[in-house]
Amino acid sequence: MKKLINHINLIFATLLLSILSACSGGETKTEEVIRPVKYAKVGTSSGSFGRTFSGTAKAGIETVLSFKVAGNIQTVDVRVGQRINRGALIARLDPSDFELQYEEADASVKSADAQEKQTKSNYERVAVLYENQNASLSEYESAKAQFESAKANEKAAKQRRKQAKSQLEYTVLRAPMRGIVNVVYVEENENISAGQQVVILSAGDGLEVEIGVPESYIANIENGQEVQIEFPSINQQRFKGKISEVSYAINAQNSTYPVTVKLTDEIAAARPGMAANVTFQFEQEEQTSKETSLMVPVAAVGEDPQSNFVFIIESQDGKTGVAKKRYIEVGALTSEGFQIQKGLKQDDLVATAGLQTLLDGMKVKLQ
């Protein structure tokens, strides 16, 4: 037992000496961590600038289909996204009332036809008697008038029957062209009025994008001009397009000029109604291009409650340096980045990533 106690005391003493030695030893040296940082050099503009305008994709031809008569929808024979051929059945109204109207009109024609034949026969008979002086002038004129009236009634009855037939035919809605059903507005057993939208049929080759361009840029846009089109929903890919229409009248609702862009690239994933961004490249005006405009990437510019800022990197060897926060004044946003009006000079190095993690005076490693 005594040996066990001595052994425990020995272990305790050894641990105590180790702790005291650690506390009284020299300071632990920690290796300084230098944060790697991506950077760019402040340069000048290339003499051109880009502008991006938002719009919506649409089919080359979009046709709104509707019935010419009111009624109750009996069947809807298409669905959204369905490809249909010209003449395909879109929808059908309940034809009962229109069939009755046609039958009544047809009966009127038959009655009028019989009346016309009867009065014609009587007129021809009286005409012969009148020529032989066996009938008076008044009898002749009366028979003639009855015949003319019967002919007019028959003509009007036939016109009403023709109209009733057309009304009956209007209860069937068919596709006027080949295309894709873009929207279906109605359902079976729904009562609709004449002219009410039933479906939208997208047809034509390719897609178009409609955008609104402010008046300050519309003079720089013309038919055939090449542009780049980006669909945010399609992995930010860029596609080619050309201007196909430029309006000369301003849209009073948003004070922009409607411009239509036709896609020259085939995009299987694109659909009508998708949001799109159209980027134009404009040449700077002569007086502006003579002036040197400093440019920095968009990613290099941050913003806090005070102003816009960048982190410039002061480096002696081109490998490591010190990040210094500097407030700047930015100008227009172009395809090359922000124009710098004040705060930087050409060939300054600026950080282009991780601005939120950088601190003024932090040592960095250039990547």
Structure tokens at 57: 């994709």
Residue 26 has pLDDT above 80, yes or no: no
Closest CA to 168 of 256, 90, 258, 69: 69
Q: What sign has the CA pseudo-torsion 134, 138, 141, 147?
A: negative
Q: What is the mean pLDDT of residues 135-164?
A: 91
Task: Among 148, 169, 190, give the residue marking a domain's end.
Answer: 169
The residues near 321 (Cβ < 8 Å, ≥ 6 apart) are: 313, 314, 315, 349, 363, 364, 366
Query: Which residues constitute the domain of residue 191?
Result: 48-92+171-285
Give the pLDDT confidence score for residue 4 in this predicted structure: 46
Burial bucket for residue 91 (CB in 10 Å: 0-12, 13-18, 19+)? buried
- Pairwise CA distance, residues 57 & 206, whole Å: 10
Give the pLDDT confidence score for residue 32 in this predicted structure: 61
Instruction: Assess whether 207 and 314 both reside in one domain.
Output: no
Instruction: Assess whether 202 and 66 both reside in one domain.
Output: yes
Q: Is residue 32 part of a domain?
A: no
Give the pLDDT confidence score for residue 87 in this predicted structure: 92
Give the pLDDT confidence score for residue 173 in this predicted structure: 95
Residue 37 has pLDDT above 70, yes or no: yes
- Pairwise CA distance, residues 324 & 314, whole Å: 7
What does the mean pLDDT of the chain come to?
82
Instruction: Assess whether 263 and 230 both reside in one domain.
Output: yes
Instruction: Assess whether 175 and 86 both reside in one domain.
Output: yes
Instruction: Assess whether 149 and 105 both reside in one domain.
Output: yes
**339, 46 Cβ separation under 8 angstroms:** no
**pTM of this structure:** 0.51
Position 14 confidence tier, pLDDT thresholds 50, 70, 90: low
Pairing of strands 337-342, 257-263: unpaired
Instruction: Assess whether 263 and 185 both reside in one domain.
Output: yes
Instruction: Assess whether 52 and 179 both reside in one domain.
Output: yes
Give the pLDDT confidence score for residue 164 in this predicted structure: 92
Q: What is the mean pLDDT of residues 321-333?
A: 86
Task: Among 285, 306, 339, give the residue marking a domain's end.
Answer: 285
- Identity of the highest mean pLDDT range in 152-161, 313-322, 356-365: 152-161
Task: Among 252, 267, 285, give the residue marking a domain's end.
Answer: 285
Q: Is residue 30 part of a domain?
A: no
- Pairwise CA distance, residues 345 & 349, whole Å: 9
Q: C-alpha distances in angstroms, 357 versus 276, 277, 300, 315? A: 33, 31, 13, 19
Q: What is the mean pLDDT of residues 68-81?
A: 93
Residue 45 has pLDDT above 80, yes or no: no
Position 289 confidence tier, pLDDT thresholds 50, 70, 90: very low
Give the pLDDT confidence score for residue 288 in this predicted structure: 44
Position 95 confidence tier, pLDDT thresholds 50, 70, 90: very high
Residue 1 has pLDDT above 70, yes or no: no
Q: What is the mean pLDDT of residues 114-118?
A: 92
Instruction: Assess whether 124 and 181 both reside in one domain.
Output: no
- Identity of the highest mean pLDDT range in 71-75, 303-307, 327-331: 71-75
Give the pLDDT confidence score for residue 342 in this predicted structure: 86
Between 235 and 298, the more confident residue is: 298
Residue 114 has pLDDT above 90, yes or no: yes
CATH of the domain at 116: 1.10.287
φ and ψ of 334, to 5 deg? -120, 180
Q: How many domains does the chain have?
A: 3
Q: What is the mean pLDDT of residues 269-296?
A: 70
Between 325 and 17, the more confident residue is: 325
